[in-house]
Amino acid sequence: MNKPGFQPSLKGRALRLLSQREHSRTELERKLSAHEQVPGELAQALDELQARDFINEGRVVESVVHRRAGKLGAARVKQELAAKGLSGEAVEAAMADLLQTELSRAQAVWRKKFDRPAADAQERAKQARFLLTRGFKAEVVRKIVQGLDEP
């Protein structure tokens, strides 16, 4: 495959990472900075990839939301986006959409894990902690755990 002593270029390394999943520029800088031998080389490679739309922060936001929204609340998804160095309009729009579906997504996560109302206060606390650690809002968690969402 690779010849002994062969080192792929920074652009090659970035393309390999991008072929596996979407990455933000900040993530690529963090992952590839150790391989930079000439100052400014990494920034130039990432600029070229961004100019060709290989690095697209809108796609990164969509990818994270698509992968994680089924299991996590808006707060945790926003935290993951921030860890990737993303912010701005795309993130705010995604958060607005997630907040609209927060109750139904939390119900689905709760049903998959528990699927029955809590028998006592200890069980309610356990269910609430489970949902809260996944980033769902406290008012949504309260509705689900207390059964206020039932018809």
Residue whose C-alpha is closest to residue 144's, from 135, 133, 134, 131: 131
φ, ψ for residue 129 (rounded to 5)? Answer: -60, -40
**Predicted local distance difference test score (pLDDT) of residue 48:** 96
The domain spans of the chain are 9-55, 57-100, 102-145
Q: 124 and 63 in contact (C-beta within 8 Å)?
A: no
**Predicted local distance difference test score (pLDDT) of residue 24:** 95
CA atoms within 13 A on the CB side of 133: 6
Residue whose C-alpha is closest to residue 54's, from 90, 15, 81: 15
Fold of 102-145: Arc Repressor Mutant, subunit A (1.10.10)
CA atoms within 13 A on the CB side of 108: 10
Ranges of residues in the chain with a pLDDT under 50 are: 149-151
9-55 and 102-145: identical CATH topology = yes
pLDDT tens, 28-62? 999 999 999 989 999 999 999 999 999 999 999 99
**Predicted local distance difference test score (pLDDT) of residue 2:** 55
pLDDT tens, 1-10? 556 667 789 9
pTM, two decimal places: 0.84
Return the CATH number of the domain spanning residue range 9-55.
1.10.10
Residue whose C-alpha is closest to residue 109's, from 138, 83, 136: 136
What token pair was written down for 99? 């907040």
